[in-house]
Homo-oligomer: A and B are copies of this chain.
């Protein structure tokens, strides 16, 4: 349903939403999201280019959300990586379909619409303030170790 890259982007954004006021270094983010560091670096570049996060290089550098978590939906994130496309014209280019989609592509478009609405309706704020389950991507032990290691820098 989603590409691996989108999944990784969602993990990174959820983790950043959990500490919105600090810069999180890429290696720390890689450890918390269980994403290979080189791969994550590219994902973060895409997210920065899309204006969803801002970064600072060098010692004490890292990434943070570019705007409040309640203003970033899952759709913003997915669309920054692999946009979910609505189907607006016949993908086969059949001229006699004109602007009308056939029932197959109307069904696929309805599915895309449903998915878009679900992702649009959930923000990073919803994820981090959800009281009913584990914190997003939070492995208590790893987080404790990483926090200590950041403070030591």
Q: Which residues of A contact B (CB under 8 A)?
A: 1-2, 7, 10-11, 14, 33-34, 74, 84-85, 90-97, 100-104, 106-108, 110-112, 114-115, 118-119, 122, 126-128, 130, 132-141
- Which of B102, B122, B126 meets A133, CB within 8 Å? B102
- Which of B10, B104, B110, B114 meets A10, CB within 8 Å? B104
Does B134 lie within 8 Å of A96, measured CB to CB? yes
Give the Cβ gap from A137 to chain B, nearest Cβ, in Å: 6
Does B140 lie within 8 Å of A101, measured CB to CB? no
Does B134 lie within 8 Å of A102, measured CB to CB? yes
The interface residues of chain B lying within 8 Å CB-to-CB of A115 are 1, 111, 114-115
